[in-house]
Structures are given as structure tokens and as C-alpha cells.
Amino acid sequence: MARPSWTSEPAEEPRHRKRDTIRRLRAQGRYGPRFRDVLPAFTVLAVAVCSVVAGVVVGSRAAGVVVPITGALLLAVVLVIGSRRRRPGARRRRGHYTPQELFDLDIQGLALAVARMLRRDHWKVRLVPAPDRPRLCARHPDGRRLDVAFRPVAEPLPDEDLPHSHTHRENPDSFVHLVVHRGTFQPRDIRWAQREGNTFLLDNPALERWAAGAHLDEFLPSGH
């Protein structure tokens, strides 16, 4: 009698779903860090501890116990603060994302990430929530105003609500439209944005550079 044939497909599907869920939670800062994320901090901590021990031994011989212990406590405080700042969740809250983290975000998560990056560059940001098409309105201390849309094309979509570009008391030239896309814009999109004059496109390579720490002004022409 032939034995039934077993395949690994039923067992693989839950694993794939679990991996996808973990990736989404990590990108949103709701899941713990991976070992490779904390390894640099642990390495620095180990080196620092060894250095402190050596310093305590040498310092206690030269100046007594009080001075090296005080220095060790101060160093420990600095290391704790530095370790917390290196955590992925804290890093993302400061507006720094890896390319993989950007890739794993949904549209709402991407809007939140861009809002954090704008705040990192000293913009005051207001999120206009929408189920499938969020927008950001931002203002810089120098008077510039920014409208951020998330779509794969430069032109506004037919059912898209457009923001008011300016009021009668503000300079319309200070208002900039920024379109963010995690792909590549087509040549016709680039031509359309150039004709508009105040619309600028941010594709995936520029978005990754911005998320890595570059300033938004590097991607906007001078004067905007």
C-alpha cells in the first residue's frame, strides 16, 4: 500500500504570512529589533565596559577610587542614552529609515515616515488623513509652504481633493507641491511637473537618500 504524499506547502504558507507580518510591524516600529540591528550597540558597549574596567584599575592606583568611579558612572549614562537612540524605533521616530523599511510601509506608514523626515528638517507638519490617499501640509520657519501628495503620477488624479495654493496675503511662489512615489516617474510626468513650475517629484532613489539623512533642500531647486 502506497504511503500518502506530504508536501511542505501548507506549512510554508503560515511561515510566509508570519514573516510578512513581522516585516510590516518592524517597519511601523511595533516589533522588536533584529539581532543585527542591536549588534553594533552591544559591541560598543562591550568595548566601553572593558575600557571602563581598565580605567578604574589605572585610576584607582593613581588618584584613588572616587575619580574613576565617577567617570565610569558618567560613561554608563552616556552609553545608555546612545543605545536607546540607536534602536530602530527611536531612529525611525527621528526620521531615519532604511530602504527595506520604506519598502515595507503601506501608504499610511509612508505618509507618517515623510512627516517625520520633514520634522527632522525643521518643517511643521500637519497630516490630512485619508483611507487611500493621505496628504501632508507643511510650513517652514522661513515662510515656505509645502503640499505633499503620494501617487505614482505627477498630475492630480480625477477624484483628488486639491489644497488651496495660497491666500491673498501670502506669496504664491512660496507654495510648493511635492509628489512622492516609491517607484520611477515616467518622462511625461517629469515634463508635466516642469511645465507647472512649482511641482517637484521625489522618486524612490531620492526618497531613500532623504530617509538616510539627506536634507530635503538637496532635492528642491534653489529658491524653493
Identify whether 110 is part of a domain.
yes
Mean pLDDT of the chain: 78
Identify whether 157 is part of a domain.
yes
Amino acid identity at 44: V
pLDDT digits (tens, 9 = 90+) for 164-205: 544 445 555 678 999 999 999 999 999 999 999 899 999 999
Same domain flag for 127 and 151: yes
Identify whether 23 is part of a domain.
no
Identify whether 6 is part of a domain.
no
First to last CA, the chain: 78
pTM over 0.85: no
pLDDT digits (tens, 9 = 90+) for 6-59: 444 455 677 777 777 766 665 555 555 566 666 676 777 777 778 767 776 776
Nearest to 179, CA basis, from 122, 114, 128, 117: 114
Q: Is 179 helix (H, G, I), strand (E, B) or coil?
A: strand
Same domain flag for 63 and 103: no
Amino acid identity at 179: V
Length of the chain: 224
Domain span at 81: 35-86
Identify whether 17 is part of a domain.
no
Nearest to 223, CA basis, from 117, 156, 122, 142: 142
Query: Do 140 and 115 touch, CB atoms closer than 8 A?
Result: no
Identify whether 20 is part of a domain.
no
Same domain flag for 140 and 165: yes
Same domain flag for 112 and 215: yes
Same domain flag for 121 and 181: yes
Burial (CB count within 10 angstroms: exposed 0-12, middle 13-18, buried 19+), residue 83: middle
Domains held by the chain: number:
2
**Calpha distance 43→13 (Å, rounded):** 36
Same domain flag for 57 and 131: no
Q: How big is the CA angle at 46 (ends 40 and 50), to the nearest 5 degrees? A: 145
pLDDT digits (tens, 9 = 90+) for 149-167: 999 988 887 666 665 544 4
Same domain flag for 129 and 169: yes
Same domain flag for 65 and 140: no
Beta-carbon contacts of residue 192 (< 8 Å; ≥ 6 apart) = 154, 155, 199
